[in-house]
């Protein structure tokens, strides 16, 4: 492992904020909007049915495994068609969803720790989701955000990690990837040649006996402390 890292790629969902409450609120906001603007669709597709439709789209359109936005838009179009309502409502409906999806509640440690880390090294977002750092208000801390939708493949595929390293103008071994998912983040990063950090906020046990993260922390403040120490050793 090359220490200290010269840059960090950082997962977003469940690393900087808990994602499940965000998605649940976004689904509810969408449902409320549909009740007002597409009531037949709303009655036919309550939240659970809309969720099942999106999962069906994800299963049938494996070519869109990296693109949650397009999966959501297709499922909205299908729901509106089934409800006999105007498919031109896809755009405003999705805007309601994505606006609520980006109203996140950061983990308490994130604001200060992220600023500390960004003062030390360049930070790049690396996500399979469709969070928008500008909408969230965190983009000032990031050199860029590379989403799977933009890149064309998702973590744990090595290509997305290597694309981020290329944009950082650094070899993979000088970049540390930080994320909560053992396979998508840690194993994916290791396969691509990056250093890896497991964000273990829930205090779980590492699930693999073969591949371990280079570093394990329980919050972003601990990572900032580790990075400060690595740069002063």
Domain CATH number, residue 146: 3.40.50.1000
Residue 210's pLDDT is: 75
* Residue 54 lies in domain: 20-101
Q: Indicate whether 125 and 226 sit together in one domain.
A: yes
Is the confidence at residue 2, as pLDDT, over 90?
no
Q: Indicate whether 24 and 85 sit together in one domain.
A: yes
Is the confidence at residue 173, as pLDDT, over 60?
yes
pTM for the structure as a whole:
0.93
Is the confidence at residue 100, as pLDDT, over 80?
yes
Is the confidence at residue 209, as pLDDT, over 70?
no
Q: What is the CATH number of the domain that holds 32?
A: 1.20.120.1600
Residue 208's pLDDT is: 75
Q: Indicate whether 75 and 149 sit together in one domain.
A: no
Q: Indicate whether 159 and 225 sit together in one domain.
A: yes
Query: What band does 35 get if pLDDT is binned at 50, 70 and 90?
Result: very high
Is the confidence at residue 93, as pLDDT, over 90?
yes
Long-range contact set of residues 108-115: C-beta below 8 Å, sequence gap at least 24: 109/219, 109/220, 109/221, 110/16, 110/17, 110/220, 112/221, 113/219, 113/220, 113/221, 113/223, 113/224, 114/16, 114/138, 114/141, 114/220, 115/141
Residue 1 lies in a domain: no
Higher pLDDT, 198 or 207: 198
Report how many domains make up the chain: 2
Q: Indicate whether 182 and 209 sit together in one domain.
A: yes
Q: Indicate whether 129 and 41 sit together in one domain.
A: no
Residue 2 lies in a domain: no
Query: What band does 1 get if pLDDT is binned at 50, 70 and 90?
Result: low
Residue 32's pLDDT is: 98
């Amino acid at each position: 492992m090359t220490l200290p890292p010269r840059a960090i790629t950082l997962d977003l969902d469940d690393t900087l904020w808990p994602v499940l409450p965000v998605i649940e609120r976004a689904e509810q906001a969408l449902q409320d909007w549909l009740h007002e603007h597409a009531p037949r669709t709303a009655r036919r597709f309550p939240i659970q049915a809309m969720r099942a439709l999106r999962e069906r789209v994800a299963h049938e359109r494996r070519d869109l495994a990296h693109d949650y936005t397009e999966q959501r838009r297709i499922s909205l179009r299908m729901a509106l068609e089934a409800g006999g309502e105007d498919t031109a409502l896809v755009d405003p409906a999705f805007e309601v969803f994505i606006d609520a999806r980006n109203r996140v509640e950061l983990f308490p440690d994130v604001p200060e720790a992220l600023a500390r880390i960004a003062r030390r090294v360049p930070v790049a977002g690396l996500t399979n989701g469709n969070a928008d750092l500008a909408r969230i208000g965190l983009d000032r801390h990031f050199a860029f955000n590379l989403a799977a939708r933009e890149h064309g493949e998702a973590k744990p595929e090595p290509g997305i990690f290597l694309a981020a390293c290329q944009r950082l103008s650094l070899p993979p071994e000088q970049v540390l990837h930080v994320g909560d998912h053992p396979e998508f983040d840690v194993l994916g990063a290791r396969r691509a040649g990056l250093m890896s950090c497991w964000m273990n906020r829930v205090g779980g046990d590492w699930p693999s006996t073969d591949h371990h993260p280079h570093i394990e922390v329980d919050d972003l403040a601990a990572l900032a402390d580790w990075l400060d120490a690595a740069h002063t050793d």
